[in-house]
């Protein structure tokens, strides 16, 4: 592949030790839900202010290797007229872009969805590359419901869509991040989550290999394996670490470029503690780190409250959050010394 060397260089930059990826790729609608936490209306100016505060925060490049953006934010500018992607690049942070266009019902399969966004993807990648994007993300959504969901049919069609996206991304010189999210929502046990996540990843990687996607030039963004949020017996960090790594060793080829975790609705502190427990189990065949959204943004939002005078303190909170997760990615986080993440 003509872009292979560049893809590998991007993967290496994104998986730099002690750093992780900020997923600031909420759609405009989801960004509104974030802003509603601090009673701000979902207006372009408020979305721009929040993202500018994130991207310009001093020192974040020490703990962030990449930032995933949404279409409206990669095309946005600071108040001084500097494109957001250029702000990040100047800090040595790799700009990324979410390219799927959301989910639709999978007809005939109650409660299951497939992800859309392949139409015009080559052209969009060409535009995003010009804007500075060097990696991308596509999310598939897996709901665990009783013993029947997810079906192999749903996993297979989503894996095929992910594989096609990954092919197009690599042809454009952009590293594909594949995100099969097994939802935390539900009353399933950690054992059930492990079975479903293992099956999901096995089908995904069988399909990626079948479609000749270069696994070294690809990053997996995965859920942690943990009991559903409504399950009576919540999983401990140690249980989560063991179940997650067992799953990866059963499912993820060793030549995959790297693995990053989504926080998936966990509280900021819990996501950090669980990442730390995984890292404490030692070196793995793949570099592993975080790609959190809400777990990083929530404490920043609550500190900011939409008030200009709170920006310096909110940016310090962002620096703290990414530093704590950077430490956790190396197994060096001490929850007893962290009084800020909740």
DSSP secondary structure letter of residue 70: -
Give CA–CA dist 150/129, Å, rounded.
35
Residue 76 lies in a domain: yes
Q: Is 239 a catalytic residue?
A: no
Four-CA torsion 236, 142, 283, 211, nearest 10 degrees: 170
Residue 179 among the catalytic residues: yes
Say how far apart CA 107 and CA 149 lie, in whole Å.
14
Q: How far is CA 193 from CA 112, 178, 229, 237, in A?
A: 16, 19, 12, 15
pLDDT digits (tens, 9 = 90+) for 216-254: 999 999 999 999 999 999 999 999 999 999 999 999 999
Mean pLDDT (the chain, rounded): 96
CA atoms of 29 and 153, how far apart (whole Å): 29
- Is residue 235 situated within a structural domain? yes
Residue with tokens 């966004």: 117
Q: Is residue 65 part of a domain?
A: yes
Measured in degrees and rounded to the nearest 5, phi and psi for residue 104 equal -130, 160
In a domain? residue 342: no
pLDDT per position as a tens digit, 162-220: 999 999 999 999 999 999 999 999 999 999 999 999 999 999 999 999 999 999 999 99
pLDDT of residue 167: 98
pLDDT at position 1: 65
Which tens digit of pLDDT belongs to each residue from 309-319?
999 999 999 99
Contact 109, 154 (CB under 8 A): yes
User: How many Å apart are CA 185 and CA 188, to the nearest integer?
Assistant: 9
Tokens 């200009």 belong to residue = 308
| CATH number, residue 183 | 3.20.20.70
**Half-sphere exposure of 212 toward its Cβ, with a 13 Å CA cutoff?**
4
Q: Say if CB 138 and CB 100 are below 8 A apart.
A: yes
Per the listing, tokens 């869509």 go with 161
Angle at 129 between CA 125 and CA 131, to 5 degrees: 115
Contact (Cβ atoms closer than 8 angstroms) between residue 95 and residue 128: no
- Catalytic residue chosen out of the listed positions 26, 179, 297, 298: 179
Counting residues of the chain whose pLDDT is more than 90, the rounded percentage is 91
pTM for the predicted model, two decimal places: 0.96
Rg, Å, the chain Cα set: 19
The number of folded domains in the chain is 1
Mean local confidence (pLDDT), 268-296: 97
According to DSSP, the residues that pair with 141 across neighbouring strands are 181
- CA distance readout (Å), 157 to 193, 197, 212: 20, 16, 17
Three-state secondary structure call for residue 102: coil
For 179-191, the DSSP string reads EEEE-S-SS--HH
Spatial separation of the C-alpha atoms in residues 184 and 192, rounded to whole Å: 12
Which pLDDT belongs to residue 33? Answer: 87
Output the six-digit token pair for 198: 């293992």
Which residues does residue 69 pair with via DSSP β-bridges, in sequence order? Answer: 97
The DSSP bridge partners found for residue 135 are 96, 175
Query: Per residue in 4-55, pLDDT tens?
Result: 899 999 999 999 999 999 999 998 888 888 898 888 999 999 999 999 999 9
In a domain, 13, yes or no: yes
> Which domain, by its residues, includes 290?
4-335
Half-sphere exposure of 311 (CA within 13 A, CB side): 12
- Could you tell me how far CA 273 lies from the centroid of its own chain? 17
Model confidence over 5-15: pLDDT tens digits? 999 999 999 99
Q: Is residue 310 part of a domain?
A: yes
CA distances from 221 to 18, 41, 181, 199 (A): 17, 30, 8, 16
Out of 98, 137, 221, 323, which one is annotated catalytic? Answer: 221
Q: Kindly tell me if the per-residue pLDDT of 122 is higher than 70.
A: yes
Query: Greater confidence, 68 or 2?
Result: 68
Helix (H) or strand (E) holding 282: none
Residue for token digits 């001084």? 80
130-166 pLDDT, tens per residue? 999 999 999 999 999 877 899 999 999 999 999 999 9
DSSP label at 18? T
| Residue 56 in domain | yes
340 occurs within a structural domain? no
Among left, alpha and beta (phi > 0; psi -120 to 50; other), residue 221 is beta
């Amino acid at each position: 592949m003509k872009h292979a060397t560049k893809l590998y260089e991007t993967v290496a930059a994104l998986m730099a030790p002690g750093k992780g990826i900020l997923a600031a790729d909420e759609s405009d609608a989801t960004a509104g839900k974030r802003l509603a936490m601090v009673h701000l209306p979902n207006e372009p100016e408020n979305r721009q202010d929040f993202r500018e505060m994130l991207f310009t925060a001093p020192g974040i490049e020490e703990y962030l290797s990449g930032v995933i953006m949404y279409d409206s934010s990669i095309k946005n500018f600071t108040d001084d007229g500097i494109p957001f992607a250029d702000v990040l690049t100047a800090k040595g942070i790799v700009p990324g872009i979410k390219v799927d266009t959301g989910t639709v019902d999978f007809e005939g399969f109650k409660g299951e969805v497939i992800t859309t966004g392949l139409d015009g993807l080559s052209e969009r990648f060409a535009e995003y590359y010009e804007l500075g994007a060097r990696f991308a993300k596509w999310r598939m959504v897996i709901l665990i419901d009783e013993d029947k969901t997810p079906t192999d049919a749903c996993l297979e069609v989503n894996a095929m869509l992910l594989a096609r996206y990954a092919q197009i991304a690599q042809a454009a010189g952009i590293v594909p991040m594949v995100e099969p999210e097994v939802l935390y929502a539900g009353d399933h046990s950690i054992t059930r989550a492990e079975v479903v996540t293992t099956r999901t990843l096995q089908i995904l990687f069988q399909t990626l290999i079948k479609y000749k996607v270069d696994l070294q030039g690809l990053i997996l963004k995965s859920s942690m394996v943990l009991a559903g949020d409504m399950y009576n017996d919540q999983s401990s960090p140690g249980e989560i670490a063991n179940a997650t790594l067992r799953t990866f060793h059963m499912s993820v080829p060793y030549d995959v470029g790297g693995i990053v975790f989504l926080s998936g609705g966990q509280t900021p502190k819990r996501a950090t503690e669980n990442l730390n427990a995984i890292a404490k189990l030692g070196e793995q065949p793949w570099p592993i780190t975080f790609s959190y959204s809400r777990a990083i943004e929530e404490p920043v939002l609550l500190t900011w409250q939409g008030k200009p005078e709170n920006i310096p303190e909110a940016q310090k909170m962002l620096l703290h959050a990414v530093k704590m997760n950077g430490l956790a990615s190396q197994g060096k986080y001490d929850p007893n010394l962290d009084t800020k993440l909740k």
